[in-house]
Amino acid sequence: MVEESMRWSRLLVLGLLVLVAGGLGWLGCDSISTSSFGREVVVGAVDDPELVANEVHMAISNSTARRALGYLSCGTGNPIDDCWRCGPEWHLHRKRLADCGIGFGRNAIGGRDGRYYVVSDPGDDDPVNPRTGTLRHAVIQDEPLWIVFKRDMVITLKQELIMNSFKTIDGRGANVHIANGACITIQFVTNVIIHGLHIHDCKPTGNAMVRSSPSHYGWRTMADGDGVSIFGASHIWVDHNSLSNCADGLVDAVMGSTAITISNNHFTHHNEMYAIGGSADPTINSQGNRYLAPTNPFAKEVTKRVDTDSNKWKSWNWRSEGDLLLNGAYFTPSGAGASASYAKASSLGAKSSSMVGSITSDAGALGCRKRSQC
């Protein structure tokens, strides 16, 4: 683990950092099925990035205009938050969140079409045979589930929390920490939403048996200690979480992961924010974010290409626009960089980086309580 003095003293990321990666089984058109809720179920890669970018731009413009006109009592200009935060009865309509995503992960419905599962037990005694009521027991189920928490809790995982498809982990209404152990792995699955968690002090674990579904468990090699590891997965939305102090990346999206939105999160105390790379040729649009580098002169770079020669990653489209880079922090762009499609896919496209402080005041996990406006 990197020494504390080498970590970011503060790394605040808000708005939208939208990620797209093609290839490795996720290329081609979306596969769509019907649903009884607002949005159709989509599995597969983003088919038209230009269309998605235009939709994001329109959503932001509309939300900002409504705020200026006073149409919403809690209008923030953030189209995601304005979609669900404006009333004290949000807890009676939790699944509305699934229809509030924008960007490339906008079709991630999580467990919207399933029942609620209430986590009442913070324990993780047996990663192969988890007890009913634990978070691990919830996330491995085959059915869609919207997972909530009975009370405040700190969950220290013995091994990676390996998620199954069509799950939402919704920490709103409780102060939930996943800390001081293994953290979250989203591997070869689809339609996952992670919202409202404190994820920190994640450690390398592995060389152990871990269950990934009711019918399967297997041997896991050593994990790096990422906060959220996204590996060969699609339609993932990570929103309003607070992440810090992980042994490796805070959010790590690799191996052809695609259709991902990372929004409204608060990232602190780490020397790398995202470890995205491999052969997946990911596209990153970073806009309107705040990066504060540590004093260590060798820990100033925001970006990281994982185990890849520069001759390969120089064609990857990594772009920074309107970011606030402090204390010598720098973003290494590559590829086309100026692609209009990806430049539009940002929640802060029309905002100056000098406004980031006020715009991002609600970064990270929110202190939501039932019967109060969140």
Q: Which residues on adjacent β-strands are paired with residue 219?
A: 209
Within the chain, residue ranges assigned H as helices are 49-69, 79-84, 135-139, 310-313, 340-344, 356-359
Q: Is residue 70 part of a domain?
A: yes
Note whether 216 and 304 are same-domain residues. no
CA angle 16, 255, 138 (to 5 degrees): 75
CA-to-CA dists, residue 363 to 129, 267, 368, angstroms = 36, 9, 13
66 burial level (CB within 10 Å; 0-12, 13-18, 19+)? middle
Q: What confidence score (pLDDT) does residue 274 get?
A: 46
Q: Are 357 and 290 in contact (CB under 8 A)?
A: yes
Q: Is residue 360 part of a domain?
A: no
Q: Which residues on adjacent β-strands are paired with residue 262?
A: 17, 238
264 Cα distance to chain centroid = 9
Note whether 121 and 213 are same-domain residues. yes
Residue-wise pLDDT for 298-310, tens only, equals: 777 777 766 677 7
Per-residue confidence at 287, pLDDT binned at 50, 70, 90?
A: very low
Q: Which structural domain, as residue segments, surrounds residue 338?
A: 1-108+259-351
CA-to-CA dists, residue 368 to 35, 196, 287, angstroms = 29, 9, 27
Q: Which of 92-106, 169-183, 340-354 has the lowest mean pLDDT?
A: 340-354
Q: Is residue 253 part of a domain?
A: no
CA angle 96, 100, 105 (to 5 degrees): 125
Q: Classify strands 16-21 and 198-200 as parallel, antiparallel or unpaired.
A: unpaired
Residue 40: CB atoms within 10 Å: 12
Note whether 71 and 116 are same-domain residues. no
Q: What confidence score (pLDDT) does residue 87 get?
A: 82
At 162, the amino acid letter reads: I
Note whether 204 and 305 are same-domain residues. no
Residue-wise pLDDT for 291-342, tens only, equals: 666 677 777 777 776 667 778 778 776 666 555 666 777 778 877 644 444 4
Look at residues 240, 203, 209, 210 and name the one whose alpha carbon lies nearest to residue 225: 203
Provide the domain count of the chain: 2
Q: Is residue 368 part of a domain?
A: no
Distance CA 80, CA 63 (A): 9
